[in-house]
Structure 1
Amino acid sequence: MTEYLISFNDGAMDHIPGGEMPDVGKAVQAVVQEAVNAGVWVYGGGLERQQASVVAMNGTVTDGPFPETREVIGGFSVVDVATRDEALTWAAKLADACRCPQEVRELMSDSETDALLREADSRG
């Protein structure tokens, strides 16, 4: 299986009237529950608007917002599926629920990290 990041840009849902957001939330939760039931859901969530901090290699911290940044992620989901087409299917469901386009990107696999996680899972 391969993990895919499904995300949308900050502000992509700004066109939705505030009164409709509870319905959007319910629709998103229904897709998440469907993904959980299908065994493909890994993790997801929304991000606070422009609350980023950048930590340099020397430990220096610079806090946002960063006005020169054109696009930042507003929310994301990670699914673990067999094919890119399956990831695109989940992205389409999320796009419909969120009422905004979704970007799909394959996450790189790190076999050493994966092995460490499997070992930790087996220890409980």
Structure 2
Amino acid sequence: MRFMMLMLPSAHCDALPDARPSADAVAKMMRFNKSLQEAGVLLALDGLHPPSAGVRVTTVNGKLKISDGPFAETREVVGGYWMIDVASRDEAIAWASRCPLTPGDTIEIRQVFEMSDFPADVRKAAEGFEELRAATG
């Protein structure tokens, strides 16, 4: 079962566009990342720039709206992610529980859809999705 663990760092909402984590924070996170890799469950991971450096593309009344960060209405933002492949939701929770969080940080765990989760008509509509996903690496 694949799960995405989303890091929601408490300080990321208000971080300046050029904000970077400290060397100590990165070293702690790298130990966690390596433990995921050594266990053979890590599929992908990355950290993200703060929302103040981001852009949102939305539609409002059928028209495209482009908004540069920071986003005033934002309370929680994704600061990074891990894609893991584990046997159960409980195992994903166990891995997230080992992450070196700072006070106020949150990890949200979301199971990734598999084609087998859908009825036949949805699988038919998604023909070619698996090949597309495989081609992206």
TM-score of the aligned structures, taking structure 1 as reference length: 0.69
Deviation, 1:10, is 4.5
Alignment correspondent of 1:17: none
Compared CA separation, residues 63 and 103, structure 1 to 2 (3 A): same
1:116 aligns with 2:121: no
How many angstroms apart in 2 are the aligned matches of 1:6 and 1:68? Answer: 19
What is the one-letter code of the residue matched to 1:54?
R
Instruction: Work out the CA distance in 2 between the residues paired with 1:9 and 1:24.
Output: 12
User: What SS does the aligned partner of 1:5 have?
Assistant: strand
**Matched-pair identity in %:** 30
CA RMSD of aligned residues (A): 2.9
Does the aligned pair in 1 maintain the 2:6–2:79 contact within 8 Å? no
Q: Which has the larger radius of gyration?
A: 2
Unaligned runs of at least 5 residues, structure 2: 15-20, 116-122
Instruction: State the distance in 1 between where 2:68 and 2:97 align.
Output: 34
User: What is the CA-CA distance between 1:39 and the residue it aligns to?
Assistant: 1.8
Higher helix share: 1
What's the counterpart of residue 44 of structure 1? Answer: 45
TM-score, normalized by length of structure 2?
A: 0.64
Number of matched pairs: 113
More moved, 100-109 vs 75-84: 100-109
Identify the match of residue 101 of structure 2 among 95, 98, 103: 98
